[in-house]
Amino acid sequence: MIKIKFQKQKISISSVLGKLGTSADGALASFIGRVRNTSNGKSVRYLEYEIYDGMARKELERIMNDAVARWKLGGCVVFHRSGRVKVGDASIAIAVCSRHREESLQAVKYIIDTIKKKVPIWKKEFYRDGSNWITDRV
């Protein structure tokens, strides 16, 4: 029903969508977060993600199980990159499915918004002239 993967390799969108749900699910919604080339006026070279693996899985499971119960999802998948991620590459991919579109669309928004508040993952931006942990964003 739910699947979580933290990986150093590029995220393959086809493997995220893969065998999600069944033919009873008429809707599939997804969100892909990509690394932007600028941040606060600075040119970003790449990002590094650090993950508190055990706790991040627990928090994600909580969020995803909550979404599955609330919107009666047929499936729910979250992939997140760890380590260095290039500009333009996907840092996170979320996909869910449900019988109708409204449930899937709401669930995807809830999952990404809650991940950004609760799941212990941090990003560090690397510029030409230094680097910075992003710790003040909600």
Partner 1 sequence: MKIKIKAFANVREILGYEEKPVEVPEDSCVSDVVKILSADYPGLKSVSAMLLFACNENYCSKETRLSENDTLALFPPVSGG
- Give the binding site for partner 1 (CB under 8 A): 33, 49-52, 54-56, 58, 80, 91-92, 112, 115-124, 133-138
Q: How far is the CB of 134 from partner 1 (least distance, A)?
A: 4
Q: Residue 83: count other Cβ atoms within 10 Å of its Cβ.
A: 13
In contact, 71 and 107? CB cutoff 8 Å = yes
Closer by beta carbon to partner 1, 41 or else 54: 54
Q: How far is the CB of 116 from partner 1 (least distance, A)?
A: 5
Q: Among residues 56, 73, 74, 68, which one has the least CA distance to residue 4?
A: 56
Closer by beta carbon to partner 1, 50 or else 102: 50
Q: How far is the CB of 23 from partner 1 (least distance, A)?
A: 31
Closer by beta carbon to partner 1, 17 or else 31: 31
How far is residue 53 from each of residues 28, 56, 80, 131, measured CA to CA in Å?
27, 5, 11, 23
Q: Is 27 helix (H, G, I), strand (E, B) or coil?
A: strand
Tokens of residue 54, six digits: 């055990």
Closer by beta carbon to partner 1, 73 or else 94: 94
Q: How far is the CB of 127 from partner 1 (least distance, A)?
A: 16
Q: How far apart are CA 113 and CA 115, in angstroms?
A: 6
